[in-house]
Amino acid sequence: MSKVVACYKWVADEADLRIDADLSVDFSRVKGKISDYDKNAIAEAVNIATAWGEKAVGLTFGTAKAKQSVKDALSRGLEEGYWINADEAADADGAAVAKALAAVIQRIDDVGLVVCAEGASDTFARQVPSRIGAVLDWPVVTSVMKIEIAGNGLMTVRRLDDCMQTVKVQLPAVIAVLPEINTPPIPGLKAVMAAAKKPVHEFKGGDLGINFTPKTKAVEFKGYVMARKNVIFKEGEAADKVRELAAALRKEGVL
Amino acid sequence: MTRRRVGLFLTEEEKFDVIIVGAGPAGSACAYILAREGKSVLVIERGDTPGAKNVTGGRLYTYALELLDQGLHEEAALERKVIREQIMMLSGDRAITIDYHDPSFNEEGRPPMSYTILRGVFDEWLAGKAEEMGAMVACGIRVDELIERDGRIVGVVAGEDEMYADVVIAADGVNSFMAQRAGLIEDIKAETVAVGIKEVIELPAKTIEERFNLREGQGAARLILGCTEGIHGGGFLYTNKDSISLGCVFMPEEAGQKKKSVHEIFQDVKMHPSIYPLIEGGETIEYGAHLVSEAGFRGIPKKLFREGFLMVGDAAGFVINTGYSIRGIDLAIVSGIAAARAVIGAEGTAAAGPLYMEELKKIKLLPTMQAQDGFSDILETAWLYDKVPDLAADVFENLFTVTGEVPGSVKKDVMRLIRSNDLSAWQFIKLGFKGMRAL
Ligand SMILES: Cc1cc2nc3c(=O)[nH]c(=O)nc-3n(C[C@H](O)[C@H](O)[C@H](O)COP(=O)(O)OP(=O)(O)OC[C@H]3O[C@@H](n4cnc5c(N)ncnc54)[C@H](O)[C@@H]3O)c2cc1C
C-alpha cells in the first residue's frame, strides 16, 4: 500500500473571537488551533495507514503562523509534516487552497489516499476536498462517517440527510470525513516528545508555480445577533406557565 | 539508528538530566538555565500553552529577569514599566489614594524596577526562551504521579507514559501535587492561603494613560485596602498596555462566614465611585481565580528536597505578601535559577538538595523572606482591613470639611474618631511594635 496524507487547516480559535458592540469582529486576541474537524481527519489517516502498515503524513497550507501547527499535528501520530508557507493563504479561496495542497501531494512519493475533513471549523465552505480531487483527477467521496479497507480499495459509508450510502472507491482517492467517524485521541507525553524529532518539510508558496489570486473574496465579517422575542411567562401556577410555554413554542414551530 | 542505553537501562529518549513539572515562571526559568548550560531538560505543562490558565496580579520585579540573563527584560513580553506606586483606602463610598512617584526607580541606563505583565503572554514567552536554549517543552500534558525507586525520585508518570530523569523539579505552583506525592507537604491548610480573583478589563491605551496620568509605556500599580468587608485581604489594580488587571484577595475561612460571596464583594469594588471611573467603558476579557500562599517565611515547608527531587516557586511557598505588595513571580524565577545552579553544581543526585538550600541563601531568597516575616504578624491584625481605612477617611473628612462652623481641635477630633471607630491607643501601640519588628 502507499502513503496517506491528512490535510488540515490552522484556524482561529473561535473561543477567542469577540464581537464588539458595533457587530465588528475582533480578531486581535485570537490564537490558532488545528481545525477541530481536521483532528478527525488526522486520526482517520493514522488509523488507515496503521492498518496498511504505511506512513501517514500531514499537510497544511497557511501563512507563517501555521508553522506552529506542525508540532501539534505530528504529536497526533503523523510521521512527517509538510507545510506550505504563503502570505497569500490569508485570503486564498477554496480553489487556490486546493491547487496548493494538490501541488505538494504530487511532490510526495507514492500517495494512495488523501483524507480531509468535510469542512474547516472557521468557514466550513466544503470546497477543498472535491477541488483537490479535481486537480489530481482522483475520485472523491464526501460526508464519510465510516471507512473500511476492502482489498485494493476502500469501502466507505456516507451519511446523507436521512439515509446512509455505502460507496466503494478505488485508490488513489480523496475522502472527506465527518466528525463522527472517530474520537481523536489526546496526544500523550511520548507522542508530544516524539513530534519534536519528526521530519518537517517546508514549501514556499511562490515555488509551487500557482496563481493564488482568489476569485471569491471575503468582503466583510460581521457579528450576528439573534433577535430575541423576550417573552416571559410569569402569570399563574407553574403548570400553567409550562403549558403556555409549550403552546408558544409550538406556534413558533420549534416543537 | 542505534540507541544509546543510559542509566536504568533506558534509551536516551526516555531519560533526561532533569524533568520540570510546570511551565510557570519558576519552571521556565529553571529550564532556561539548565538548557543553556547543556543539560537535557524536559518541561511538562498541563495547559495547552504555558500560562494559558495562570492567574496573577500582574507585576514583575525586573531584577529577577536580569539574574536569568542580562538585558532579557528588553525583549521580554512585558506590559508597562511601573512609575506610580499607589495605595488606596476605601471606606464606604469614600476613598484616599496615596501616589508615590520616584524617578530613581526608573533611571536611564538601568533596567526599570518593575513591569506590569499578563501571564498568558509572559509565560509563553519565557517558555519559548527556554525552548530556544534547547529545553523540550511538552504542553497539554498533566503529570499524574512520581516514580520512586529505592527511596529516590527517578521520574514521572503522565497518562500511560513514564519518563525518567536524574532530578525531578516540582514547579507546579501553590498546593503542589508533586510535593504532596513526594511526602514533603500535606494538603493545604485554609489559614495559610488566600483566594485571589481577578478580571482583565480592556480599554484603549490612551484612555488608561489619561485616567492614571501616565505616558506611553508607563504604568501604575495600586493596592487597595478596605475593599474586603473586613475580611483579611485587599485589592490590586495594575495597568497593562491596553487593559487593566483588577482583583481582590480574600482569606477563604472568613469569607465563608460572610453573607456576601467574594464575587459579590468584588462586584461592589468594581462599582465603587472611585474605582468605576477607572474601568468605565472597558470590557472584561478574562476572568480567573487562584490560590495565593499567605504564610510567608513560616509557610515554607520544612524540607524542600529529597534525593532526585527539588521544589521551586509557589510549590516551595516562595511568596511575600506585605500588604502593600505581593511578590511571587520574581521569587519563582530566582528559585528556579537557584535550583538549576544546584543541579549543575552537584556531584551526584544526593548532593543537589543541600546545594539548592545553599543557593537559595546565596541568591538572597531565603534571607529576603526571613527579613519580611514580621509582616505576617501585622497582616493578622483584624482591624487593619476595615477600621483603619474608616479611621483614615474620618480624619480626612475632618480635615477637608469646611462649612463655616468653628472647627474643633484636630488632636481632640482624632482621639474622638479613634474611639468612635472602636479602636484604642493601645491597639496602635501594639501594631507599632509589630511594625518595628517587621521592619
Ligand atoms: C490573585 C494573585 C495576584 C498575584 N499578584 C502577584 C504580583 O503582582 N506579583 C507577583 O510577583 N506575584 C503575584 N502573585 C503570585 C504569583 O502569581 C506566583 O507566586 C507565581 O505565579 C508562582 O510561579 P510558579 O511558576 O511557582 O507557579 P505557577 O505560576 O502557578 O505555575 C505552575 C504551572 O504548573 C502547571 N502545573 C501544575 N500542576 C501540573 C501537573 N500536575 N502537570 C503539569 N503541569 C502542572 C500549571 O499549569 C502552571 O502552568 C499573585 C498571585 C495571585 C493568585
3-state secondary structure chain B: CCCCEECCCEEHHHEEEEEEECCCHHHHHHHHHHHHCCCCEEEECCCCCCCCCCCCCCEEECHHHHHHCCCHHHCCCCCCEEEEEEEEEEECCEEEEEEEECHHHHCCCCCCCEEECCHHHHHHHHHHHHHHCCCEEECCCCCCEEEEECCEEEEEEECCEEEEEEEEEECCCCCCHHHHHCCCCCCCCHHHEEEEEEEEEECCHHHHHHHHCCCCCEEEEEEEECCCCCCCEEEEEEECCCEEEEEEEECHHHHHHCCCCHHHHHHHHHHCCCCHHHHCCCEEEEEEEEEEECCHHHHCCCCCEECCEEECHHHHCCCEECCCCEECHHHHHHHHHHHHHHHHHCCCHHHHHHHHHHHHHHCCHHHHHHHCCCHHHHHHCHHHHCHHHHHHHHHHHHHHCCCCCCCCCHHHHHHHHHHHCCCCHHHHHHHHHHHHHHC
In a domain, B401, yes or no: yes
Provide the number of structural domains found in chain B: 3
Cβ–ligand 1 contact at B327 (below 6 Å): yes
Identify the pLDDT of residue B294.
Answer: 83
pLDDT in tens, A77-125: 999 999 999 999 998 999 999 999 999 999 999 999 999 999 999 989 9
DSSP label at A205?
Answer: G
- Higher-confidence residue: B249 or B385? B249
Cβ–ligand 1 contact at B392 (below 6 Å): no
Categorize the per-residue pLDDT at B2 as very low, low, confident or very high, splitting at 50, 70 and 90: very low
Q: Tell me which range, B12-26, B64-78, B377-391, B410-424, is most confidently predicted by mean pLDDT.
A: B64-78
Average pLDDT, integer, range A159-176: 96
Task: Let me know whether B122 and B141 are in one domain.
Answer: yes
Amino acid at position B315, single letter: A
Task: Let me know whether B408 and B346 are in one domain.
Answer: no
In a domain, B167, yes or no: yes
Q: What is the pTM of this model?
A: 0.86
CATH, residue B225: 3.30.9.90
**Which of the residue ranges B82-86, B89-93, B391-395 would you say has the lowest mean pLDDT?**
B391-395
Chain mean position to CA B122: 14
- Higher-confidence residue: B137 or B187? B137
Three-state DSSP at A200 gives strand
Categorize the per-residue pLDDT at B100 as very low, low, confident or very high, splitting at 50, 70 and 90: very high
**Which of the residue ranges A204-213, B176-185, B196-205, B414-423 would you say has the lowest mean pLDDT?**
B414-423
Give me the half-sphere count of Cα atoms (radius 13 Å) on the Cβ side of residue B261: 4
Of B159, B283, B285, the CB nearest to A189: B159
Give me the half-sphere count of Cα atoms (radius 13 Å) on the Cβ side of residue A34: 27
Identify the pLDDT of residue B439.
Answer: 60
Of B44, B136, B163, the CB nearest to A196: B136
Identify the pLDDT of residue B13.
Answer: 58
Among candidate residues B238, B267, B293, the one where a domain is terminated = B293
ipTM score of complex: 0.76
Cα(B173) to ligand 1 centroid in Å equals 5
Of B138, B160, B285, the CB nearest to A192: B138
Produce one character per residue of B235-245: b if its CB has 16 or more CB atoms within 10 Å, e if not. bbbbbbebbbb
Among candidate residues B272, B293, B314, the one where a domain is terminated = B293
In a domain, B100, yes or no: no
pLDDT in tens, B34-71: 999 999 999 999 998 898 878 888 899 999 999 999 99
In a domain, B98, yes or no: no
Task: Let me know whether B200 and B278 are in one domain.
Answer: yes
> Of ligand 1's atoms, which has the minimum distance to the CA of residue B50?
49
In a domain, B346, yes or no: yes
Other beta carbons within 10 Å of B35: 23
Residue B400 has pLDDT above 90, yes or no: no
Question: What Rg, from alpha-carbon coordinates, does chain A have?
Answer: 22
Residue B3 has pLDDT above 90, yes or no: no
Q: Tell me which range, B28-42, B95-109, B365-379, is most confidently predicted by mean pLDDT.
A: B28-42
Chain A CB contacts of B283 under 8 Å are: 18
Chain A CB contacts of B140 under 8 Å are: 186-187, 192
Among candidate residues B255, B273, B293, the one where a domain is terminated = B293
Residue B334 has pLDDT above 80, yes or no: yes
Q: Whose C-alpha lies nearest to ligand 1, atom 31?
A: B24
Of B49, B141, B283, the CB nearest to A189: B141
Average pLDDT, integer, range A206-230: 88
Range of the domain at B396: 377-438
In a domain, B159, yes or no: yes
Task: Let me know whether B428 and B280 are in one domain.
Answer: no
- H helix or E strand, kind and range, residue A188: none
Task: Let me know whether B359 and B390 are in one domain.
Answer: no
Task: Let me know whether B327 and B424 are in one domain.
Answer: no
CATH, residue B52: 3.50.50.60
Identify the pLDDT of residue B396.
Answer: 86
Cβ–ligand 1 contact at B233 (below 6 Å): no
In a domain, B104, yes or no: no
Categorize the per-residue pLDDT at B303 as very low, low, confident or very high, splitting at 50, 70 and 90: very high
Q: Which three cell numbers stand for residue B193?
A: 492561603
How many interchain CB pairs under 8 A, A with B?
32
Give the Cα separation of B318 and B241 in Å (integer): 28
Categorize the per-residue pLDDT at B406 as very low, low, confident or very high, splitting at 50, 70 and 90: confident
Task: Let me know whether B399 and B431 are in one domain.
Answer: yes
Cα(B433) to ligand 1 centroid in Å equals 33
Chain B CB contacts of A187 under 8 Å are: 140-141
Cα(A92) to ligand 1 centroid in Å equals 41
Task: Let me know whether B284 and B314 are in one domain.
Answer: no
Mean pLDDT score across all residues of chain B? 89
Identify the pLDDT of residue B8.
Answer: 43
Average pLDDT, integer, range B238-244: 97
Task: Let me know whether B157 and B305 are in one domain.
Answer: yes
Residue B10 has pLDDT above 60, yes or no: no
Cβ separation of B161 and A189 shorter than 8 Å? yes
Task: Let me know whether B31 and B126 are in one domain.
Answer: yes
Task: Let me know whether B212 and B275 are in one domain.
Answer: yes
Cβ–ligand 1 contact at B181 (below 6 Å): no
Give the Cα separation of B156 and B209 in Å (integer): 47
- Name every residue in B having a CB less than 8 A away from some CB of A: 13, 42, 44, 49, 136, 138-141, 158-161, 163, 283, 285
Task: Let me know whether B267 and B319 are in one domain.
Answer: no
Site to substitute for ligand 1 among B292, B304, B325, B368, most atoms within 8 A of C-beta: B292
In a domain, B231, yes or no: yes
Residues in a beta bridge with B156: B146, B163
Residue of B nearest to A75 (CA): B138
Give how far A133 is from chain B: nearest CA, Å: 34
Average pLDDT, integer, range A185-195: 93
